[in-house]
Chain A
Amino acid sequence: MHLGVLTRAPWLAWGRPVLARLWGMLMVLGLVSVLVFVLTRLAAGDPVALLLGDQASLQDIAQARARYGLDAPIVEQYLRWLGEVLQGHLGQSIFLQMPVHQVLLDRVEPTLSLALLAVGVAMLIGVPSGLAAAVWRGRWIDQWVSTLAMLGASMPSFWMGLLLIQLLAVGLGWFPVSGYGAPDASWAQRLHHLLLPALVLGMLNSALITRFTRAAMLDILGEDYIRTARAKGLPEVRVILLHALRNALVPILTVLGLTLALMIGGAVVTETVFNLPGLGNLVVRAVLRRDYPVIQGALLAIAGVYVLINGVIDLLYLWVDPRVRHG
């Protein structure tokens, strides 16, 4: 039976599991859309009252709510929004009076640049110090690195941010305090604005990379082939950098990838302290303004990216591992 399916039509063996996974992705997105919608509406607060200001009367607020369609029953509002999303529109920001997809696209660049730079910083700090801690295991350098990594992992980023702002931006004047430069700023100016926040984010995240590098290196340094390499009389530097580190890179790269993914959605505090117009900052401000379409659009987009990545990985498993395909 099993063989028969394969010989009859190979696409059938692929078709069903692929369809099942696509269906699963759609279901997850549908569920996310309901959750996001309900959660934003469950939170008290009113975007219109904030928009109209403190002097607006209750009657003004009621009229404006009707204009934005916020007085309709929640099911009706949801279906209207879902209809728009299915047609490819994420709606219109109540506060910014702009299409939500435009608002989101504007924020991708600062967030992505910050995340890449910060991962670079984290790698530059984390890999060498983890390496040193593993090579000189149990010595003073290992203890220092472990203590600093612990400190880094437990330090709040807003505090670290403010500290570095006072020291490097206000005190020494090396960096701008905040922002992303003027609208017409060159890429060099943008980079200048990103360096300090990237340093903060990178330093704090380097702790995890340090610990992973140390652990991975310790595992590999105990392997037989390292002993063999040493026995062959290879110089120690060569053994560590070429033989050990190269093999330790796989888990390190995995952690780097995870860190990058986390930073894209989670650099909220750093973006706020440095007043960077990124995605995290946008979501926080949208929540404070109760700008429902932006909150919904941003969360749905972020969830969509995660679902897509997971979906692609699932499909890759199908391709790589026949057991998954036929299981």
Chain B
Amino acid sequence: MALNLFRRHLLASLLAVLPALALSAPPKGGAAQLAMIGEPQSLDPMASTADLVGTIMQHVFETLYTFDARWQAVPMLAEGMPRVSADGLTHTITLRAGVKLHSGRDLDAGDVVASLTRWMDMAPRGKAIGRDTVSLEARGPRTIEWKFKVPQASLLAQLALPSGMAAIMAKESLANPMTSFVGTGPYRFRERRPDQLVLLTRHEAYSARSEAPSGYAGRREALLDELRFVPVPNASTRLEGALAGQFHFADQLNAEALSRLEKGGPQVVPIITPAFGFPYLVFNTREGVMAQQAMRQAVQLAIGPGEMLEAAYGDKRFYTVEGNHFPQGTPFYSTAGTEVYNRKDARRAREMAERAGYKGEVIRLLTSRQYEFHHTMVQVMAEHLKAAGFRTEMQVVDWATLVQRRGDSKVWDIYMTHSGQLPEPMLSPPQLGEGAPGWWSTPGKAKALGDFNQQTDPARRAPLWAPVQQLVYTEVPYIHVGKFSSLSARAARLEGYVPTIWPFFWNTGLGR
């Protein structure tokens, strides 16, 4: 009896431990077929800010800092957090010892200085940091010293971002355009076949951090022998490939694909990433009928983002109607200014426009069908605007044309786009910076963002976002329409995958 009891306990504890063991260690080996939304614009993550480039190349190149599961910037190639001088202007960063480049050499401060200099020369976010930089120099083999003109509150987040990446590269590989891609990541570049695949293989000498994995941070291990990023621009083909088991991962599927995935059997798993991104409307504040703040406020009052989101996504699991720019539970969450969000008040909007001197001028709405949800939302918005007495004209063009036209302030009044939901306000949308389409530039903006960006203490900086958000609702350079979730799919046998904005495949393995 006693033995039986012991056996039963043993069995019970084994049963309890086994799944945990299986979960903690996905198997090693195999090649993962990863269906991506298209061909990467470049393999040089400084040459393009496209998310796809960062998604693929974050396996090859690493950054000094990266984001953990709570979206805090934590060290990756850096040993620890930077030492910041009392005036907040000098940052000293020490590198981890023994980090191997794909070429076999140890990473040193010279590589970091050369890479960051190139980043400040080429990448849009790097250029902004470069304008504030006084000097960037190596101080010994593993230490760099970075001096600024003004305090840099968002520096670590800027260094951590995978798109337009501040990638650390071997200094001898730097060239324009790049022909060899030598980094420190858990995977190394092997081959690119245009429109067929980008092939990465395991970096055997990878030196991982010792901390437990958390988001992009902590220990990274290349369990899969090969990552095969296959460009599949057609979303239906990505879906069918995932259902048939040809792809182990299919990125960014249409919301309608969910029911097919749910009926697709146990071998395929739908992945919903909540608060993946936000659609936003940009206003031309420089010229035309929207240049007047009161007109922009009238439009803001007239439209109903709730109905726009419902029309675009249908299923409530794929969108959230909320005016706060950052999700609840994150440092920058605030409801400041949101009382004017989602009002759809045609009567007051009409009165406001009349008072602003609106005489029935046509409002040109620029949108694209590249992203069907953009087009649907603008269609609904146009109806809301008509109901409030505005005359509208929809200009539906392809994405390439939209990107070109929005640079010309003479040809549009409002355009629709979207962004990933990034953890740091200064990362997106670009209208918070200088010179982006829409050309928002007012004394109020300079003051609110100046206060926000010069405060380097995270705890004191977070509450300073509320006045900025309030200002966006008052001056209306853009309208945050709400949040959307994304749908992807993975094979059940792709184990250890953690849903996130830029999907990564270290610490994931292929089970049976």
Instruction: Give bound CA distance, A211 to B230, whole Å.
Output: 40
Instruction: Give bound CA distance, A289 to B193, whole Å.
Output: 17
For residue A211, give the distance in angstroms from its CB to the closest CB of chain B.
Answer: 31
Evaluate contact between A173 and B48: CB separation under 8 angstroms.
no
Evaluate contact between B234 and A275: CB separation under 8 angstroms.
yes
Instruction: Give bound CA distance, A277 to B196, whole Å.
Output: 7
Question: Interface with A: B20-28, B209-217, B240-248, which one?
Answer: B240-248
For residue A94, give the distance in angstroms from its CB to the closest CB of chain B.
Answer: 10
Evaluate contact between A50 and B234: CB separation under 8 angstroms.
no
Q: A46-B404, A56-B49, A275-B237 are in contact. Are A178 and B246 (CB under 8 A)?
A: yes
For residue A37, give the distance in angstroms from its CB to the closest CB of chain B.
Answer: 18
Residues A173-190 near B (CB distance < 8 A): 173, 176-180, 182-183
Question: Interface with B: A10-18, A58-66, A148-156, A301-309, which one?
Answer: A58-66
In chain B, what residue has the closest Cβ to A179? B230
For residue B42, give the distance in angstroms from its CB to the closest CB of chain A.
Answer: 7
Q: Which of A53, A180, A290 contacts B50 (CB 8 A)?
A: A53
Evaluate contact between B400 and A289: CB separation under 8 angstroms.
yes
Evaluate contact between A288 and B246: CB separation under 8 angstroms.
no
Question: Interface with A: B357-365, B384-392, B429-437, which one?
Answer: B429-437
For residue A143, give the distance in angstroms from its CB to the closest CB of chain B.
Answer: 34
Does B455 sit at the interface, judged by CB under 8 A? no
Instruction: Give bound CA distance, A173 to B267, whole Å.
Output: 14
In chain B, what residue has the closest Cβ to A44? B401
Evaluate contact between A50 and B41: CB separation under 8 angstroms.
yes
* In the complex, per-residue mask of B217-256: 1 if CB is within 8 Å of any chain A CB, else 0: 0000000000010111110110011011110000000000
Evaluate contact between A53 and B234: CB separation under 8 angstroms.
no
Does A253 sit at the interface, judged by CB under 8 A? no
* In the complex, per-residue mask of A35-56: 1 if CB is within 8 Å of any chain B CB, else 0: 0000000011111011111111
Q: A50-B400, A106-B194 are in contact. Are A55 and B430 (CB under 8 A)?
A: yes
Which of B196, B197, B397 has the most chain A CB atoms inside 10 A of its CB?
A: B196
Which of B241, B399, B437 has the most chain A CB atoms inside 10 A of its CB?
A: B241
Please tell me the size bucket of the interface on A.
Answer: 35 or more
Evaluate contact between B195 and A282: CB separation under 8 angstroms.
yes
* In the complex, per-residue mask of B260-284: 1 if CB is within 8 Å of any chain A CB, else 0: 0000000000000000000000000
Q: A56-B124, A58-B437, A60-B124 are in contact. Are A169 and B230 (CB under 8 A)?
A: no
Q: Which of B400, B405, B435 contacts A57 (CB 8 A)?
A: B435
Residues of A within 8 A of B127 (CB): 57, 60
Instruction: Give bound CA distance, A180 to B194, whole Å.
Output: 13
For residue B510, give the distance in angstroms from its CB to the closest CB of chain A.
Answer: 16
Evaluate contact between A44 and B48: CB separation under 8 angstroms.
no
Instruction: Give bound CA distance, A151 to B126, whole Å.
Output: 58
Residues of B within 8 A of A170 (CB): 240, 243-244
Please tell me the size bucket of the interface on B.
Answer: 35 or more
Instruction: Give bound CA distance, A103 to B124, whole Å.
Output: 30
Instruction: Give bound CA distance, A52 to B42, whole Å.
Output: 9
Evaluate contact between B403 and A285: CB separation under 8 angstroms.
no
Evaluate contact between B232 and A275: CB separation under 8 angstroms.
yes
Q: Which of A44, A54, A282 contacts B397 (CB 8 A)?
A: A44
Evaluate contact between A49 and B50: CB separation under 8 angstroms.
no
Does B163 sit at the interface, judged by CB under 8 A? yes
Instruction: Give bound CA distance, A103 to B407, whole Å.
Output: 31
Residues of A within 8 A of B417 (CB): 54
Does B191 sit at the interface, judged by CB under 8 A? yes
Instruction: Give bound CA distance, A56 to B124, whole Å.
Output: 5
* In the complex, per-residue mask of A259-298: 1 if CB is within 8 Å of any chain B CB, else 0: 0000000000000111101000110010011100000000
Evaluate contact between A57 and B430: CB separation under 8 angstroms.
yes
Q: A46-B403, A183-B197, A290-B400 are in contact. Are A54 and B50 (CB under 8 A)?
A: yes
Residues of B within 8 A of A200 (CB): none
* In the complex, per-residue mask of A70-110: 1 if CB is within 8 Å of any chain B CB, else 0: 00000000000000000000000001111000010010000
Residues of A within 8 A of B125 (CB): 55
Residues of A within 8 A of B228 (CB): 182
Does A310 sit at the interface, judged by CB under 8 A? no
Evaluate contact between B49 and A55: CB separation under 8 angstroms.
yes
In chain A, what residue has the closest Cβ to B433? A57
Instruction: Give bound CA distance, A56 to B41, whole Å.
Output: 13
Residues of B within 8 A of A47 (CB): 400
Residues of A within 8 A of B237 (CB): 165, 177-178, 273-275
For residue A283, give the distance in angstroms from its CB to the closest CB of chain B.
Answer: 12
Does B164 sit at the interface, judged by CB under 8 A? yes
Q: Which of A49, A179, A275 contacts B400 (CB 8 A)?
A: A49
Residues of B within 8 A of A315 (CB): none
Residues of B within 8 A of A281 (CB): 195
Evaluate contact between B435 and A58: CB separation under 8 angstroms.
yes
For residue B292, give the distance in angstroms from its CB to the closest CB of chain A.
Answer: 23
Does A229 sit at the interface, judged by CB under 8 A? no
Does B204 sit at the interface, judged by CB under 8 A? no
Does A162 sit at the interface, judged by CB under 8 A? yes
Residues of A within 8 A of B236 (CB): 162, 273
Does B177 sit at the interface, judged by CB under 8 A? yes
Residues of B within 8 A of A57 (CB): 124, 127, 430, 435-436
Q: Which of A43, A44, A56, A288 contacts B405 (CB 8 A)?
A: A44
For residue A39, give the distance in angstroms from its CB to the closest CB of chain B.
Answer: 15
Does A147 sit at the interface, judged by CB under 8 A? no
Ranked nearest first, the 8 interchain pairs of A and B with the lowest CB-CB distance are A45-B400, A53-B49, A55-B49, A53-B50, A44-B401, A46-B404, A49-B403, A177-B241
28 contacts between A and B (CB under 8 A): A44-B401, A46-B400, A51-B48, A53-B50, A53-B53, A54-B403, A55-B163, A55-B164, A57-B430, A57-B435, A58-B435, A60-B124, A60-B127, A95-B41, A96-B39, A97-B42, A103-B194, A162-B240, A170-B243, A177-B237, A177-B246, A178-B241, A179-B230, A272-B234, A285-B233, A288-B398, A288-B399, A288-B400
| Chain B interface (Cβ < 8 Å from any Cβ of A) | 39, 41-42, 47-51, 53, 124-125, 127, 163-164, 177, 191, 193-197, 199, 228, 230-234, 236-237, 240-241, 243-246, 397-401, 403-405, 407, 417, 419, 428, 430, 435-437
Known contacts A52-B124, A58-B437, A275-B230; 20 additional CB pairs below 8 A are: A43-B401, A49-B407, A51-B47, A55-B125, A56-B49, A58-B436, A60-B124, A95-B39, A162-B240, A166-B240, A170-B243, A178-B232, A178-B237, A178-B240, A178-B246, A179-B196, A183-B191, A273-B234, A288-B399, A290-B400
| Chain A interface (Cβ < 8 Å from any Cβ of B) | 43-47, 49-61, 95-98, 103, 106, 162, 165-166, 169-170, 173, 176-180, 182-183, 272-275, 277, 281-282, 285, 288-290
